Structure 1
């Protein structure tokens, strides 16, 4: 089977078109999921909204870093990813940069510490900042 090329173009093989979804497309889907979950009265579903928001931010960062450097970084630490992104000349939204430690904590806290309290307004703030970021990227031709 042919490997999808690094420029993320479609390939035709055996009569099928293989499409590699980008991390940015997956990040956008994660954000849609977060938007649908954030208003739940169920604490654990609300936690999933925080997790999906963190994942959207993480995948957006990894996608942009890969575009700039040709290499996708590993890890979930938003602080490290943001530092790497900035060193590559990537502009980070102020809200995401300011709250990166909090948003980074959602990766584990939401899944392993059910007693944790995550404020809905902070999740909504992160969703809005990430959605605005995706919109800005789209306007810059990054899809």
Structure 2
């Protein structure tokens, strides 16, 4: 794709900044939330093309991915709606492209569709400490999950 020195996502990958679900940095609640995420279910639920690469399947699907994550957490048998309180929805940009992703407890960004912006093999559910993600994301605004769902339900797609 691009020279990794020019792509902040590639730089974070090369510096091993992406966290995986087994990271010791996560409390049990966050590990439970991550356990609700199922890439195959996401592709099926959002009616994405499972034949093409993950990057291609998720292109332009960030809003659906965000809704899927909220739905997966709310409907998970061991989690449920109370766990949504630790999640906020962030709207902004990756580079010059509008994008939407989640923020957990004002500590981590969680993004199922960040992989579309790089050829580096970052995790399909990209998790970054917020202080490391500044060169990747530009935040326009942060909403509670409920505010965001209410706004999305009013949109005509």
Give the TM-score category using the shorter length: 0.3 to 0.5
Q: Larger helix proportion, structure 1 or 2? A: 1
Considering fraction of residues, name the structure with more strand: 2
Kindly name which structure, 1 or 2, has the bigger radius of gyration based on alpha carbons.
1
